[in-house]
């Protein structure tokens, strides 16, 4: 069954706990973007936000690190109550193993994130060491961008590799995910839909979360029947 991750980057930060509670009936994960102003220009959220949210929800908190030195953040995030942490392959010089080990030592599940320009094959040697592979479908750093369709064949390639090796690795799509494109992402092989503005800037946030969760849960569309078959 697929999962929905509600990204609070687009939420009303003045009422963040309430915004999380609003989508709890349908979200499986609360996605927290952590930015340092260097790896990406904006500065956003951080350890204090994780610690503040932790008492307010039993859902998994997943931190997406858009930072130059992810290893420097891991111990503090684990202590703050983060359940899962993903860092960018581009931020670790192409060698994610030390960060993976440090995240595990801090008590968190861990994953790798790839920007659109990074070949998905760069992460294949490490798939058996991680819990998720997150594929960006926008330029990282800003909510509200349109999904780049170049991500779909990338999802297909990762899904094929994960299935070929029989791995229990979630394939996540992050960026521009909305009701009108979510099914295509699932059909390509995504198991986690990360949505920020698709939920929190929708006219009805709860209905948007419900609809996205339904798409994630029902999985891939049935293949059309071939001629001569019932």
Q: Which residues are catalytic?
A: 33, 174
116 close to 140: Cβ distance less than 8 angstroms: no
Pairing of strands 43-44, 29-36: antiparallel
Q: What's the rounded Cα separation, in Å, for the pair 130 and 128?
A: 6
103 close to 129: Cβ distance less than 8 angstroms: no
């Amino acid at each position: 069954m697929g999962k929905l991750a509600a990204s609070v980057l687009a939420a009303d930060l003045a009422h963040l706990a309430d915004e999380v509670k609003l989508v709890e009936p349908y979200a499986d994960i609360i996605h927290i973007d952590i930015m340092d102003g260097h790896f990406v220009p904006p500065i956003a959220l951080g350890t204090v936000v994780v610690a503040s949210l932790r008492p307010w929800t039993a859902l998994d908190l997943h931190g997406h690190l858009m930072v130059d030195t992810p290893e420097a953040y891991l111990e503090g995030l684990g202590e703050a109550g983060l359940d899962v942490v993903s860092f960018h392959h581009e931020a670790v010089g192409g060698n994610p193993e030390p960060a993976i080990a440090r995240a595990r030592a801090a008590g968190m599940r861990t994953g790798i994130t790839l920007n659109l320009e990074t070949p998905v094959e760069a992460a294949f040697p490490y798939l058996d060491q991680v819990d998720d592979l997150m594929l960006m479908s926008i330029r990282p750093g800003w909510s509200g961008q349109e999904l780049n369709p170049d991500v779909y064949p990338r999802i297909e390639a990762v899904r094929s590799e994960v299935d070929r090796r029989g791995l229990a690795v979630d394939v996540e799509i992050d960026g521009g995910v909305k009701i009108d494109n979510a099914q295509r992402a699932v059909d390509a092989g995504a198991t986690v839909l990360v949505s920020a503005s698709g939920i929190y800037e929708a006219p009805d946030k709860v209905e948007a979360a419900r609809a996205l969760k339904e798409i994630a849960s029902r999985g891939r569309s049935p293949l059309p029947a071939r001629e001569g078959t019932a």
